[in-house]
Structure 1
Amino acid sequence: MSVNCKLTCRKVLSVLSFMLLFQFAHAQYDFSGIEKKFDAFKDDIGKNFVCLIYKDGKIIYKKEVEGFDARAQAHIGQASRWFVVALVMSYVDQGKINLDEKVSTYLPIFATYGKKYITVRNCLTETTGIKSCNPSGKTLEERVDAYASKCDINTNPGEAFDYENIGITIAARVCEVVAKRGFEQIMNEKIFRPLAMRNSSFFSESGNVNPANGALSAAEDYINFMSLFLNKGQFKGKQILSEKAIEEMTKIQITTSMIKQAPKPVVGYNYALGTWAIEAKDTKATAIASPSMYGMFPWVDICRGYAAVIFPKSGNGESKKATLISIKQFIDGVIGDCH
């Protein structure tokens, strides 16, 4: 047998071995019944959507419907907030931001207008106490300065949860000040590029950046982001966030007794940092989710070791809690019990 023939045979055997391993990895999970779930809830999910399930470093299920694929960009609404929290935590890791430091340390205007007791943690847990208002201003600096100077305090910071855009927007502005660069630039540098999120951005044609609700992303990108919670803050061997940061982001920070109002899909759940604790044990979330008003539903089941996202092109409004619970319970049954 010639040398070339031997090399060719080895290559063929290698490819066949890889294919067998690939098939085995996917064969151990039977998701065939999920199609019935999608069909039953099609009015809620929409007709153009992607579903991805990630476990053990790979995608174990992919469903792309009506030409909408896993790299296609769409608005993600409130699911944008998770990105902002991760950005803040990257600066916490560097020692440049302290969650329990007063916002006025970074933005002195808050002390000038009687809001010196608001902390960065209050911003990430929606407990700033600032009354909802609609300040004018195109840049983050202009809008956040208006929150400080023109919006009243409704409750003491840390006392009540109010699901508004205020806190997360202030936190984004703190990051700008600390980094001495614009929000979009630092989000790309610290989160999107390191996580190979090539189809994610906070770009706005109007130039009015919206950290709380304004991100564009793709199902594949969002899975990359959520994989951090299953891989101790690492992505492809690179440490993006510290283990300590991941632990902080999955601690229950706000209990239901403090929550004044919440999106319908997550009513009755506690809150972590930028996400909802849809399952928990003691003070630790074992499953976290960040649903959006566009029908997108991303979640990480830390206990069972998987992440999943239902990503519609344009949802039919806010997803129904019963729909999300039903689909998750089906996937949980396929994956198996907690570790």
Structure 2
Amino acid sequence: MSSPLAVGTWCFLFFGLVVSAHATDAVPASPDVAAVVQPYLDQHKIAGIIGIVADKTGKVHFKNLMGYADVEAQKPIDENNVFWVASMSKMFAGASVMMLVDEGKLSLDDPVTKYIPQLSKWMVVEEKDASHVLLKPLVRPVTIRHLLSHTSGLTGSAEVQQVTGADTTPLKVRSLSSVTGPLQSQPGEKYAYGNQGMNIAARVVELVSEMPYEEFLQKRFFDPLGMSETTFWPSAAQVARLAGAYGPNKSKTEFARGNIGFLTKPYSDRTNRHPEAGGGLFSTTHDIFRYGLMLANDGELDGKRYLSAAAMDELRKEQTGSTKVNYSLGYHLRNGMFGHDGALGTDLSVDPKTGMVTVFMVQCTSGDQWAARDAFLKAATKAFSNK
């Protein structure tokens, strides 16, 4: 069936205003955001988006709900929808480490081998071709900072993940499996984005805090922040509210539904699925916004401090050394903002100078999610400055 998005978006904008209104004050949609996002919907590149533009006090200045969470069932996208936030999960790995740094329990420049001695066997690929691989010793230790900034030299995923799947082995198993997988570059010398460093950092969090990583996140972040729907294991009820992932069909005339091939179904299986610290979380607009407010308020929210000012300084600055890539410790740095995005286009961005907090929730498989995200952020910044 052909999608009626082109003709129906404005009515869903209105729907968004109705369902998202406060008791006494409806939040308007931003015409700037609507204008830049509409073409992606019209061209079947994105089925639906939620765009939030707010300030650090928690006041939402603009809220755009456009399109569908389920094209086949004609269900408009809604703030009750659950999203796979993928690499946005990395923010929590970085914040967890910094919380333990605040408590004096570890240092960013600690060698990883201080906590996982087995990793002292790491070697580095010096030469490689079809007939041979030459390995050399490390010239410097891999540190926690290297893990979180993608400068460790690790491959994107552990060897065991490449065989069994991203989430079917515990963090301990994934960390130790990297012993036999050589580093691809000397620590600190190259930037290579991936999940393996985040998973090893999460394993360090487990060892230092003496609790499972998922329990640490629940007790230290999710529960106190009121992030009641953020989890590695969405329930059946949450999966029923999962926004569909869409892109155009081959003829680009209709939507084609995709899936989350990165994770193992059923998502609610706590026995056979384990936390993927680099990309395994599911969440909602509300929960991501709550986390963004904590970041925007320099590590504090509603009278509770989560991260010190010094920890927040670390999360907001470039940590990639001589590579000069705009990345921190599980946080992207982009146009003066910091936060992170996810594989299907979800994004949290915080501007520490203006206090703007933006949330962009989408499940896009077309490859256009980054262009759409950038267009949204540009329009959001304009709308926020003109509010």
Q: Relative contact order, CA 8 A, sep 6+: which one is greater?
A: 2
Q: Note the C-alpha offset of 1:88.
A: 1.2
Distance in 2 (CA, whole Å) between partners of 1:140 and 1:196 is 26
SS in 2 for 1:41: helix
Q: TM-score, normalised by structure 1?
A: 0.80
SS in 2 for 1:172: helix
Distance in 2 (CA, whole Å) between partners of 1:45 and 1:106 is 45
Q: Note the C-alpha offset of 1:318.
A: 4.0
Structure 1 gap segments, 5+ residues each: 1-17, 260-268, 280-285
Of 223-232 and 318-327, the range deviating more from structure 2: 318-327
Is the Cα–Cα contact under 8 Å of residues 295 and 317 in structure 1 kept in the other structure? no
Structure 2 gap segments, 5+ residues each: 1-22, 69-75, 124-137, 161-167, 234-266
* Residue of structure 1 equivalent to 2:7: none
* Residue of structure 1 equivalent to 2:384: 335
Q: Note the C-alpha offset of 1:63.
A: 2.6
* Residue of structure 2 equivalent to 1:102: 111
Figure out how many residues of one structure are paired with residues of the other and give that number: 296
Letter in 1 for 2:33: I
Could you tell me the percent identity over the aligned residues? 23
Query: Does 2:260 correspond to 1:212?
Result: no
Letter in 2 for 1:58: K
Is the Cα–Cα contact under 8 Å of residues 71 and 221 in structure 1 kept in the other structure? no
Letter in 1 for 2:293: S
Q: Note the C-alpha offset of 1:234.
A: 0.8
* Residue of structure 1 equivalent to 2:323: 258
Distance in 2 (CA, whole Å) between partners of 1:77 and 1:34 is 24
SS in 1 for 2:348: strand
Distance in 1 (CA, whole Å) between partners of 2:198 and 2:155 is 14
RMSD: 2.4
Change (3 A) 1:73 1:230: same
Q: TM-score, normalised by structure 2?
A: 0.70
Of 132-141 and 117-126, the range deviating more from structure 2: 132-141
* Residue of structure 2 equivalent to 1:295: 345
Which residue of 146, 150, 159 corresponds with 1:135? Answer: 159
TM-superposition CA deviations, 1:190-222 (whole Å, max 9, x none): 111121111101225232321111111111111
Which residue of 248, 257, 270 corresponds with 2:314? Answer: 248
Letter in 2 for 1:47: A
SS in 2 for 1:92: helix
SS in 2 for 1:273: coil
SS in 2 for 1:271: coil
Query: Does 2:200 correspond to 1:176?
Result: no
* Residue of structure 1 equivalent to 2:52: 52
Letter in 2 for 1:128: S
Aligned counterparts, 1:1-339, within 5 A: 19=24, 31-42=30-41, 43=43, 46-55=46-55, 56-65=57-66, 66=68, 67-113=76-122, 117-132=141-156, 134-136=158-160, 138-147=169-178, 149-203=179-233, 204=267, 205=269, 206-254=272-320, 258=323, 270-279=326-335, 286-312=336-362, 314-336=363-385
Distance in 2 (CA, whole Å) between partners of 1:319 and 1:197 is 28
SS in 1 for 2:197: helix
Change (3 A) 1:35 1:132: closer
Q: Note the C-alpha offset of 1:307.
A: 1.0
Change (3 A) 1:79 1:44: farther
Of 47-56 and 81-90, the range deviating more from structure 2: 47-56
Is the Cα–Cα contact under 8 Å of residues 53 and 307 in structure 1 kept in the other structure? yes
Structure number with higher helix proportion: 1
Is the Cα–Cα contact under 8 Å of residues 277 and 287 in structure 1 kept in the other structure? yes
Distance in 1 (CA, whole Å) between partners of 2:157 and 2:299 is 36
Is the Cα–Cα contact under 8 Å of residues 293 and 318 in structure 1 kept in the other structure? no
TM-superposition CA deviations, 1:76-120 (whole Å, max 9, x none): 111111111111111111111210111111111112445681100
Q: Note the C-alpha offset of 1:64.
A: 2.9
Distance in 2 (CA, whole Å) between partners of 1:112 and 1:159 is 19
Is the Cα–Cα contact under 8 Å of residues 51 and 308 in structure 1 kept in the other structure? yes
Letter in 2 for 1:222: I
TM-superposition CA deviations, 1:244-303 (whole Å, max 9, x none): 111110011126x727xxxxxxxxx61122122112xxxxxx312412211212211222
SS in 1 for 2:81: coil
Letter in 2 for 1:54: A
Change (3 A) 1:32 1:113: closer
Letter in 2 for 1:76: V
